[in-house]
Amino acid sequence: MNQIAKITPITINDDEIKSILERQQRAQIARRANFDCAARIAQLNRLSETIKRFEKDIIAACGADFRKPSAEVKLTEIFPVLQEIRHTTRHLKKWMRPKHVGATLGVFGTKAQVRPEPKGVCLIIAPWNYPINLSLGPLVSAIAAGNSVIIKPSEVTPNAARVIVQIVQEAFTPDLVAVIEGDAAVAQRLLALPFDHIFFTGSPVIGRTVMEAAAKNLASVTLELGGKSPTIVGPSANIKMAARNIVWGKFANNGQTCIAPDHVFVHRDIAPTFNAALQAEIGRIYGKTPEAQKATPDYCRIVNARHFSRVRGLIEDARAKGAQIFQGGQTDVTQNFVAPTLITNVSDDMNITREELFGPILPIIEYVDLDKVIDRINAAPKPLALYIFDKRESFAGEIIARTSSGAVGVNLTVIHFLHPNLPFGGVNNSGIGAAHGEYGFKAFSHEKAVMEEKHSITHMLFPPYTRLVQHLINTVVRVLG
């Protein structure tokens, strides 16, 4: 097993942080006139080339930080960023083009357009669970929109953070993109500064802190949060397909995924068959015993001892309160190993029903009445994702219409994240704003309204408000209002 390297983040004081920000602010003003589409694409292509050169380093870093399989690193860390760059460079010219808007009768004789412009200097605070993807993915959108950026990677994955530093230093000048390492105290110091936009990925609890800090400087925010993403398996589901997709979506990255299925509602008529299918799929992918699951190179680990203790505590709490663990539950503190765990007989007093699990634990809840499931989902904070498995379109359609969530996956899990033409984001507790593709470009852009006088007659309504002018105003209000 790879051991986590002892890396100490580069220390930086407040004066140095302020100096980096001020340098980017000055450069941002100077760059506005010449950071055109071609220049932005050139920067993004340079980032793409640099990521490819650092592929082995990225794989080694993620392996050292939490034993992430190399194939999983390529699929979930590297590919999404490279795809984002490829998609963005193909469409950026269109996204940047001013959009002309038609005039209404009230402003007849004017010409108007909407111009996207950079917000300015942006802060990206990235999480540890997908450290490369969720640092450099938002960076693509920020650069495409013409901004300067400071990235604060997570200190929980120090090896990945160091690779991010190396990639950024090779791909960009520090007046365009800089990386500042450090712990939560450094993040708080950054949040106190007057950034133009803050892009944060993390928990709803910390998201509230970020939003509160941003409000002091009236900075706009994109908050990619999480929560408990429910899954509903209907009585007409393709059980083999459902098991395959749920097991992969849940246990990839050891369950440390914000859009992983958090818990499953399965119809009572198919519950025994579905549970057996989950067990069979876990055995096929990761091995049928804890020893095999420890030995396979395809199973990630909990990121550190603190999170391991939290996940193990969830299992122990559920077991003590009467839950039935019919698959997994084994742990090994020496490896931060938690076996793929399936739990039934879940009750509301268990911590697994209240907390976002963010680990390889999957509660299975049987249901008969779909209305009660929908009521339960609607009574909870709005999830980042909702997954539905059933062969009937009407079944999925009813659930989609009656619930609110950041996204919905029908007969699939997680992979909607990879669709560059879909907005990725939550709603309320699960997030604010959206990322990816044109949605990410807009998140980092200000849509500036530009209006030009051509041959309008609105001046006829200006004061002094003579009897004639008042008559004209009354006519406008009556006819056009």
- The catalytic residue positions are 224, 258
CA proximity to 1, closest of 336, 454, 327, 470 = 336
**H or E stretch at 307:** helix 305-320
DSSP reduced 3-state for 423: coil
Burial (CB count within 10 angstroms: exposed 0-12, middle 13-18, buried 19+), residue 418: middle
Displacement of CA 344 from its chain's centroid (Å): 29
Alpha-carbon distance of 56 to 249, in angstroms, equals: 25
Positive or negative torsion for Cα 203, 318, 250, 133: positive
DSSP state of 71: H
Displacement of CA 418 from its chain's centroid (Å): 11
Alpha-carbon distance of 434 to 211, in angstroms, equals: 15
> 470 pairs with which residues across the strands?
none
Peptide bond connecting 464 to the previous residue in cis, omega within 30 degrees of 0: yes
Neighbours of 111 (CB within 10 A): 16
